[in-house]
Amino acid sequence: MSDHYQGRNSFKETFKNYLFITIGAIIFAYGLEAFLVPNQVIDGGITGVSLILDELIAPIPFGIFLVVLNIPFIFIGYKQIGKSFAFQSLYGIILASIFTELFHRVEPIIDDPLLAAIFGGIVLGIGVGTVLRNNGALDGTEILATLISSKSSFSVGQVVMFFNIFILGSAGFVFSINSTFYSLIAYFIAFKVIDIVIVGMNESKSVLIVSDKYRDIGEALLNRLGRTVTYFSGEGGYSGEEKKVIYCVITRLEEAKLKAIVRYFDPDAFLAMSDVSDVKGGQFKKKSIH
């Protein structure tokens, strides 16, 4: 089984994803060029690395670095998460790189680094959160962190935080020590705003599925997402019929793929999700992409 799961996604849903990824990428690019870049404040992840390289290797524009450095991670996303996620992420990254070049000519709104870090972090968080909420990504470090987390005891959030502290700390050597502190402020603000934008997409989600195709769905979740499942026996309150209930815990990056799997096998299946604040034990490793 493959991306036939995604084949059942409606054109309307796909169009909505691309529309909001477009909006999110534009907001992201504007936040960078109108607030952060003119004040030598950088973001974390591949974006931060690209900004540093852009400063060190002047002839090559930032947008080129952003696309090229993200390509390996997009490939990983294609293999681990799915074609739809990879294509939508690539689309968002290319669009962000184009608009950063266009907005590079825009006059900066704020020339105070502290205010630029605060308001730039807010705008960046809105842009990135909009893209994440619509099954895309603008930074490959989150995908890499997911893989590292799956083979270690660290959460994805912890891995991403480590990467970003190292990247943001490097700003002090390329720009100034003040740039490091302002960049940290922008990063933490963006981090919080992303959470606000993508309400309901926290570190982990517990899932309950009731379906007559429970065995097929359970095996697909194991094979495609690598998530173990638990089967419960239940009884329909109205019909009195015995029902099988699937329970599993997933990360927010896996939500769209799980829904597509369930729709593929049983469009009428009952599906309920709820946020999980913490997960310990078993074979599950906590994998938030925050």
| Number of domains comprising the chain | 2
Region 14-38: mean pLDDT is 93
Nearest in space to 157 (alpha carbons), one of 128, 191, 183 = 191
Residue 284 within any structural domain of the chain: no
> Is residue 96 situated within a structural domain?
yes
State the pLDDT at residue 129.
Answer: 86
Are both 218 and 109 inside the same structural domain? no
User: Would you state the structure tokens that stand for residue 32, as one six-digit string?
Assistant: 């960078």
99: containing domain: 4-197
Do 140 and 36 belong together in one domain? yes
pTM for this model (two decimals): 0.66
Query: Looking at per-residue confidence, does 56 or 284 come out higher?
Result: 56
Q: Is 34 inside a domain boundary?
A: yes
100 neighbors 62 (Cβ within 8 angstroms) = yes
Task: For residues 206-220, give the mean pLDDT.
Answer: 91
Asked whether residue 45 falls in the same domain as residue 189, the answer is: yes
- The reply to whether 21 and 121 lie within a common domain is yes
Q: Please give, one letter per residue, the 3-state secondary structure of 100-156.
A: HHHHCCCCCCCCCHHHHHHHHHHHHHHHHHHHHHCCCCCCCHHHHHHHHHHCCCCCH
Same domain membership, residue 98 and residue 228: no
Average pLDDT estimate for 104-131: 89
pLDDT of 203 above 70: no
Q: What is the CATH number of the domain that holds 257?
A: 3.30.70.120
Mean per-residue pLDDT of the chain: 82
Report the C-alpha gap between 268 and 203 in whole angstroms: 27
Q: Contact 91/18 with Cβ under 8 angstroms? A: yes
State whether 209 and 185 are in the same domain.
no
End-to-end Cα, the chain, rounded Å: 30
Please check whether residues 210 and 162 belong to one and the same domain: no
The CA distance from 84 to 81, in Å, is 8
The H or E element containing residue 171 is: helix 156-174
* Residue of higher predicted confidence among 84 and 20: 20
Q: Per-residue pLDDT for 158 more than 80?
A: no
Q: Is residue 287 part of a domain?
A: no
210/189 same-domain check: no
**226 and 116 part of one domain:** no
Residues 136 and 244 in one domain: no
> Confidence band (pLDDT; 50, 70, 90) for 202?
very low
